[in-house]
A = this chain, B = another copy of it.
């Protein structure tokens, strides 16, 4: 199951982090943009090519240090189908370089429609008895508001295709509490109820190392909830956004990990993508600056949580 592979990769690289690939044109060195516009025009296609070139440079610089990338679908859809094509090629390139790919799409629907999303992002699509991979990520973020009808179709695809999902539980944004923190009449919060649903769904996808194929998104910006959920959801692996630009640090994410230093993967997007701008180094060094920041982040977190081990 994809989560097992991800855990093994985290241990191999001693790095529980994921690089978010949420590229904006303003993050991309001008020389890359100019070359793409020259080839494909100063419009959606040229912009999409610039995103892809930028991503490939990042992947090359990160693939022996960072176990996974998390492209955020919105930043590709913004450039139309041309951007979505760049997403497809980004996913393919990262997988070729040995990285796990978590597509951050927060998809949600029911029944046959959720089945279509599962085929699209994690599985294969049938065309007259032949199968084709549309996007081919290792894992997908999903929104569980619609209940089991929205999750079950994914579990089938995860089982047969060695894939995983991350369900939104407690998100990192300031207003996440408007709904998620509300208390139900049985005195559990909504986020905890959603977390318990993940534990249940995960029973269908047990993992070798204690974590199921159904993970949860829990923000770094809510360390108390991270700690509560780590205890409450022993089989649920966490994807933790909110580190860096959103304000979370190593101390904030520490409660997401178990005694083996496993249990979570921490995302940084802008911190890594824009490291060259923060460092104020030459634009053509953007990928090396990203690598330096990824190493700094890894070291900061691993210093806090210690050596990462697979459970015996």
Contacts and interface: CB of A to CB of B under 8 A. Distances in A.
A171 B190 contact: no
Interface in A86-116: 87-88, 106-111, 113-114, 116
Given A147-B175, A176-B147, A42 B106 contact: no
A65 interface: no
Given A143-B106, A184-B185, A197-B178, A74 B132 contact: no
A125 interface: yes
Contacts of A87: 81
Contacts of A81: 81-82, 84-85, 87-88
Interface in A161-218: 168, 171-180, 182-185, 187, 190, 193-194, 197
B147 A78 contact: no
Nearest to A171: B146
A46 B132 CA distance: 12
Contacts of A125: 44, 47, 78-80
A135 interface: yes
Contact of A110 (B82, B173, B187, B197): B173
A42 B107 CA distance: 28
A74 B128 contact: no
A149 interface: yes
Contacts of A37: 128
Contact of A173 (B146, B178, B179): B146
Nearest to A184: B182
A132 B44 contact: yes
A281 interface: no
Contacts of A83: 120, 134
Given A127-B46, A132-B44, A134-B44, A146 B117 contact: no
A79 B79 CA distance: 18
> What class of interface size applies to chain A in its complex with B?
35 or more
A119 interface: yes
Contacts of A77: 116-117, 120-121, 134-135
Contacts of A75: 113, 116
Contacts of A268: none
Nearest to A141: B109
Contact of A146 (B22, B119, B175): B175
A146 B141 CA distance: 14
A16 interface: no
Interface in A8-63: 22, 25, 33, 37, 42-44, 46-47
A79 B111 CA distance: 18
Contact of A134 (B79, B135, B150, B197): B79
B147 A178 contact: yes
A146 B194 CA distance: 13
A72 interface: yes
